[in-house]
Structure 1
């Protein structure tokens, strides 16, 4: 999918950003809940496949030590030019090789708004290994994924695929995503927000 995203950012065709704006109220509520349960300061957060950085900047605004990771240079250029981007950090890197991107252990929150569901099986395994290895014992993974749709869409991921791949995590909540801002082809893909907590052996 990286080549497709590179081309999309080059020509300025990024419909997922409009979709994210449409669902912003729901995401605000999910982040509020996370912080209400944790208290302050919230800790370190990594925005996986951050794109042009809107969510990374929002995390930083909330007081998280926020890092956005993406492998599309043009997307990161846009991210670094956003108002408030000076509060966050952005790095060019692969979400399946987070160590190489400079992500250090002890991450309290991983945010994934539509990254995992576009990866192939091998990449999903590497992604899961990386976030599990770098997560703190109390970490949360907040992940938005939709099921397989038609046409030139990411491959999608079912609930079983999410939880099966992320075996080191416990699913603690799941809710349907707000589709009001999504293009018509995405509305039928049953997008879901998954909230997972790091599973630590007793």
Structure 2
């Protein structure tokens, strides 16, 4: 697992270069979500970092909370805003019930950096906080020869963490590699959209 706290301290955050391209795709996903819901509800940005994508949720009308393990990242996110977003320090693998319940979860690059047990823990936490019919949007690198350097998960690993008895996989689409330098541009990133079952 990457030591993100150390990388933030060093000012080395190469994943943020992916923001403009990934943000454009995220807007498309959120537009699609808006067409399927009468109104937006509460959203949780998991592993929000310095709040790169959180404003997109706010702009689409979601009552948004961002959570990240690195206090310095949360501090930067709070300074950046928007004021409507709430940012809290927290562990994605141990999501607190105090966060409340949510209708939308966003995970851009968090799940892929966890080991199997941590992925399962994140999924349990998301499931526990999910309202019936909630959506999970996830952007993750795929496995590659550079996995130890840049991380990544297979579709099978993603689906195993969010089983069909609890989540329905609605869409899987290739993500753009624009803005990703080598070797991240060799990871074949994908977007996943799940819907929490009502049973």
TM range (shorter): over 0.9
What's the counterpart of residue 92 of structure 2? 95
1:61-120: CA deviation from partner (whole Å, max 9, x where unpaired) = 2211100000001111110111x42110000000111126x3112x10000001101111
User: Cα 1:173–1:68, aligned 2, differ >3 Å: closer, same or farther?
Assistant: same
What's the counterpart of residue 73 of structure 1? 71
**How many residues are matched?**
196
Q: 1:183 aligns with which of 176, 181, 188?
A: 181
Query: Are residue 131 (structure 1) and residue 121 (structure 2) matched?
Result: no
Matches within 5 A, 1:157-176: 157-167=153-163, 168-176=166-174
What's the counterpart of residue 145 of structure 1? 140
In 1, the alpha carbon distance for the partners of 2:12 and 2:171 equals 32
Task: Please list every run of 5 or more consecutive structure 2 residues that lacks an aligned counterpart in the other structure.
Answer: none
SS of corresponding position for 2:183:
helix
- Range 44-53 or range 162-171, more displaced: 162-171
Q: What is the TM-score with the length of structure 1 in the denominator?
A: 0.92
Q: What is the TM-score with the length of structure 2 in the denominator?
A: 0.93
Q: Is the 8 A contact 2:175 2:190 kept in 1?
A: yes
What's the counterpart of residue 14 of structure 1? 13
In 1, the alpha carbon distance for the partners of 2:185 and 2:34 equals 29
Q: Is the 8 A contact 1:47 1:69 kept in 2?
A: yes
